[in-house]
Chain A
Amino acid sequence: MEKYDVIVIGAGFGGPVAAKKCADAGLRTLIVERSQMPGEKVVSGTYIPAQGFMLGPTWIREGNPPLERAAYGVKIHFIKGGEIYLSLGMTLPTPIAYGAYCRPMCTWLAEQAVKAGAELKTSTTAADVIKEGDYIKGIVTDEGEELRSEVLIDSEGLQNLLAIKAGIRKKYIPEAIELCLEYDFEMASADIEDIFAHHIEFHFAMPEEKIIAPLGQGSVVYLFPYRNSLHTCIGQFLKHEGKVVDTSKLIETYYENYFNTRRWKEVIGPKAKLRAKMWDTCPLYVGLFPEMHEMARCGNGIILIGDAAGFEDTASGAGIPNAWYSADLAADVAIEAVKAEDTSAAFLQKYDELWMAHPAILPSITYSGRRNLLKAQQDESLMVRLAWEQYFGPLSNAVPALSQMKPEDLAAFLPRV
């Protein structure tokens, strides 16, 4: 039976960051990943907010990660009768976010953990936890192998199957689960520059347009231009005000209608060649529902990070920075716990103090702006104003330091693309 100081579940965005820190501190560390290659089961139109690189571990921004493209701003287009009738835009002097594909990015993160001395076991599903008395003491793989740990750092994601088996979490409610359908298109880089310049785009529409979920009940149309490709995403919550939504049918209808707008039919579509269709669930508003927000994030021998801990980002929808921050804090506590030979929940709860004191995590999971869009259903001017507050407010105010620094000083905290 193999014995580790720390076992990390999942080589997504958070797991490898925790594993690298534990391995750097000399702990015997293992990452268990169910896919053949890290990131190949992660479906996410990914633009990682610049804040993640500024406040996250410095080795990420300094290590030349496989980023696709930097965005310097956001454009929001409002659609009516299939036409854009109003556009808002904001451009900053330094990048606001960086595009990435999940497989190369997660693989790169896992490689950094392995270089630091962590072991990586791919094609291995963690099927259950090992319980001894009140303590979690490791996992059982789908091959029946027992792998023992002093501390289990659980970054399994929003399904949280292990944490539920460990008895410290419950299934998230469907009102907080969004189904996101994504398309990936090949597109020449010259066309990307022409059409999008340095922006990512969000398309809004009133409910009767049936292009996006009614506001607040799902995501707008996201257009993420990469180097030689374009990624699109539309999301819809599974349940709203007690009613199960006809999610799969609606979401396909939204796309049909979006692909019939003039901007798509005449400008973007003719240059875009479909290469992938995929989908996944995504948590949002977990921090706004007390029954979910108040669930434990650690127990005897176990600490949760990222989506497993409910650290989605209600403001931007981009959970990667929170996965990085929480991974870093969980590793600090795990290292101390192993050294002190105390892995009790009472000791590990230091993690709760740390994440609550973090400048970005708590504000991002308790931000209600996006949900407030629900109020804007029938009122266009309110929709425009709330959209402004929702998307540009957090952008300029997220980290006070960001808005106070000169662009040339800020560059030192950002990766080069």
Chain B
Amino acid sequence: MGKKAIPGVEWVPGTGDFIKIVEESCNGCGDCVKVCLAKCFGLRQEKAYVKSLDNCFECAACWFICSENAIEFSWPKGGTGFRTEFG
């Protein structure tokens, strides 16, 4: 269960790859990098890639901002991902 990088939150493993980049649609603008507080994304060879979903709060800011619809966003598998009692 969970990492301790962010206080007050647990992460349940087994989410699956619930955020994916569609490489052929990505124009490398980096908007997903700009809006993500969890630092899930990076850029290499002018394309975005998912570095890690470890600290993801499933807020979908990346999906909302992507003008090319190059981010596929779905929910993590039931019962996995972040949980908090302080929200």
Contacts and interface: CB of A to CB of B under 8 A. Distances in A.
A143 B59 CA distance: 23
B50 interface: no
Contacts of A278: 6, 8-9, 57, 82, 84, 86-87
Nearest to B82: A41
A250 B85 CA distance: 26
Chain A: number of interface residues, binned into ranges: 35 or more
Interface stretch (A170-178, A195-203, A347-355): A170-178
Contacts of A35: 79, 81, 83
Contact of A275 (B7, B58, B65): B7
Interface string A242-256: 001111110110000
Contacts of B29: 244
B87 A281 contact: no
A125 B77 contact: yes
Interface in A222-261: 229, 231, 238-239, 244-249, 251-252
Contact of A281 (B61, B78, B81): B61
A179 B61 contact: yes
B87 A43 contact: yes
A279 interface: yes
Contact of B35 (A36, A41, A247, A277): A247
A39 B29 CA distance: 34
Contacts of B59: 179, 279-281
Contacts of B83: 35-37, 40-41
Contact of A101 (B36, B37, B78, B85): B85
A3 interface: no
A181 B59 CA distance: 11
A248 B36 contact: yes
Contacts of A103: 84-85, 87
A142 B85 contact: no
Contacts of B7: 274-277
B28 interface: no
A248 B79 contact: no
Q: Is the interface of A mostly helix, strand, loop or mixed?
A: mixed
Interface string B1-42: 000001111001000000000000000010100111101000
Contacts of B85: 40, 101, 103
Contact of B37 (A142, A143, A229, A279): A279
A122 B36 CA distance: 28
Given A40-B87, A184-B86, A278-B6, A141 B78 contact: yes
Contacts of A101: 85-87
B33 to A, nearest CB: 8
B82 to A, nearest CB: 7
Contacts, number: 131
B64 A177 contact: yes
Contacts of A125: 75-78
Nearest to B12: A36
B61 to A, nearest CB: 5
A346 to B, nearest CB: 31
Given A41-B81, A276-B8, A245 B86 contact: no
Given A43-B57, A244-B35, A281 B9 contact: no
A280 B39 CA distance: 14
B35 A238 contact: yes
Given A161-B75, A276-B8, A281-B60, A44 B37 contact: no
A182 B73 CA distance: 23
A142 B73 CA distance: 14
Contacts of A238: 35, 61, 64-65
A45 to B, nearest CB: 9
Nearest to A239: B65
Contacts of A44: 87
B52 interface: no
Contacts of B86: 101, 184, 229, 231, 275-276, 278
Nearest to A43: B87
Nearest to B29: A244
Contacts of B64: 171-172, 174, 177, 238, 281
B29, B81, B82, B86: most-surrounded residue (chain A CB, <10 A): B86
10 contacts: A35-B79, A101-B86, A123-B79, A238-B35, A245-B35, A248-B39, A275-B7, A278-B86, A280-B59, A281-B64
Given A161-B74, A248-B34, A281-B59, 14 more contacts: A35-B79, A40-B87, A102-B87, A122-B79, A127-B74, A143-B78, A171-B63, A184-B86, A238-B61, A247-B61, A275-B86, A276-B7, A277-B9, A281-B61
